[in-house]
Structure 1
């Protein structure tokens, strides 16, 4: 595997010059991850005119993480709708904060739960297998000297997590082959909730925003955002005839 040298990448990505921004995504990182982990995702989403801001979450100081996210939510220079996006423990934190902060929606990708029957070895090669099948992404995080290897095998900062149905739209995306959090456990908190849209990615692994299906997942996120722009009831924009 050829590693790509990671330089000092930004924590933010903006819409193309001359294009009006359509909203803001506030992305919460998961275990081991840095802003560099989401450079590809940030570039892709910002190309569709949504601003992306990354809050690197220190699980040892969740109060500081909440403050950082709250400040981004309160930043009047960032346009609405404001949407929390989280991966792994960032997804868990986003799912907890969406009911507390004045945001318009949240995207929960690769939820991490206490007590989930995770199957992660501390060895880096196994962690890569668990995280993603995408060679480009594997190269990116392997070359990132700030990426905390082995973090995915660590314990969570919560003994238990109680997730409720928020009063705003929620998009849940989870990989069918996720070895960290079984797909059934990830979807269970919101089964039957009308305001929660759930998608399972066939063959998908844990880092679902950065798996081989990252284009399809990003497209799913963008379509959710475009529907959110029309209203909290998420009106359908494109409908397949006869289905």
Structure 2
């Protein structure tokens, strides 16, 4: 794998048998390290996590790196692609191509509709961020991304994070989910202004077998917002069901005791 595509890795605790592998494709402006909190939490439950770079910068390289990881027999199955923002679009495209080694798909904050390039916060010259983005622009971007103070601080201090990238239009149209035959879990913020939930529902409706979970009080960075624990729990529940069968049999069942 080329050095231009570094892989951020989180493994299961020592002495715990691995239960599967997640290959994560970040979104616009992000890199794999942005998902450290998510990776550590999922790894604590026995799943290996491998996070790549922003596919919008070099789609072919990221797709090739993801395909190599999915074919890697040293990584435990099931092997699941996780995509965030535009990474979700690229992950869905890989699934539609029947990429070998892929068992399921998790799409977080999938871009949908005309709002997916964000609102105009400006990217001209301005004060103090070193990227051509003004302080006011950055605050606006943070507001759209996440309400989690920890994650906001993490992004603000991250020199490798590409500010203003959320203004870039997705490089491709929303994926044709009807070409995907794998189990699919969608996670979407109920308060996502970049990709509104109603428009996401319309995209997911093309695949009746897909499961779409909305998270209350959550913005675009659904894996890194204030409900990140609930998002991770939803992912683990999906993975545990997937281990039983691609038909995703229920495990936690709400009983009617009325």
* TM-score, length-scaled by structure 2: 0.86
**Cα distance in 2, alignment partners of residues 65 and 39 from structure 1:** 19
Distance 1:67 1:10, change over 3 A: closer
1:59 and 2:56 correspond: yes
**What secondary structure sits across from 1:98 in the alignment?**
helix
**What secondary structure sits across from 2:49 in the alignment?**
strand
C-alpha displacement at 1:162, in angstroms? Answer: 3.9
4+ residue segments displaced more than 6 Å: none
Partners of 2:55 and 2:87 within 8 A in 1: no
Partner of 2:103: 104
C-alpha displacement at 1:119, in angstroms? Answer: 2.8
Partner of 2:87: 90
Distance 1:183 1:114, change over 3 A: closer
**Cα distance in 2, alignment partners of residues 228 and 145 from structure 1:** 37
1:115 and 2:128 correspond: no
Partners of 2:106 and 2:187 within 8 A in 1: yes
Partner of 1:15: 12
**Cα distance in 2, alignment partners of residues 10 and 143 from structure 1:** 21
**Cα distance in 2, alignment partners of residues 95 and 104 from structure 1:** 12
Structure 1, unmatched stretches of 5+, are 1-8
Partner of 2:230: 216
Partner of 2:29: 32
C-alpha displacement at 1:36, in angstroms? Answer: 1.8
Partners of 2:26 and 2:32 within 8 A in 1: yes
Distance 1:119 1:231, change over 3 A: same
**What secondary structure sits across from 2:81 in the alignment?**
strand
* TM-score, length-scaled by structure 1: 0.91
* Greater displacement, 39-48 / 183-192: 183-192
C-alpha displacement at 1:192, in angstroms? Answer: 6.7
Partners of 2:155 and 2:161 within 8 A in 1: yes
1:140 paired residue among 154, 176, 184: 154
- Matched residues, number: 234
Partners of 1:116 and 1:185 within 8 A in 2: no
